[in-house]
């Protein structure tokens, strides 16, 4: 079994980011699409970069 990898959503408009850490390998539809709480723009899903893993 492969452990689910954390990822983040990045708003292309205001730069707001949201870190997502899946608790299991069963993903919800909401794990793939998210809306920025600040400007209501559809956020882009991004894998965590090297710097993100340091924190």
Residues in contact with Zn ion by the rule CB under 5 A = 11, 13-14, 16, 36, 38-39, 41
Q: What is the DSSP string of 27-51?
A: --GGGT--B-TTT-PBPEEEE--TG
Rounded least distance, CB 13 to Zn ion, Å: 5
Provide, rounded to whole angstroms, the least separation between the CB of residue 36 and Zn ion: 3
Please report how close the Cβ of residue 42 comes to Zn ion at its closest, in angstroms: 9
Q: Which is nearer to Zn ion, 4 or 7 (CB)?
A: 7
Residue 19: its H or E element: strand 17-20
Residues listed for the chain: 55
């Amino acid at each position: 079994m492969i452990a689910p990898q954390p990822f983040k959503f990045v708003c292309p408009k205001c730069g707001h980011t949201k870190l997502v850490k899946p608790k299991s390998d069963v993903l919800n539809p909401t794990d793939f699409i998210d809306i920025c709480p600040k400007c209501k723009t559809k956020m882009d899903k991004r894998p965590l970069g090297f710097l993100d893993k340091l924190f």
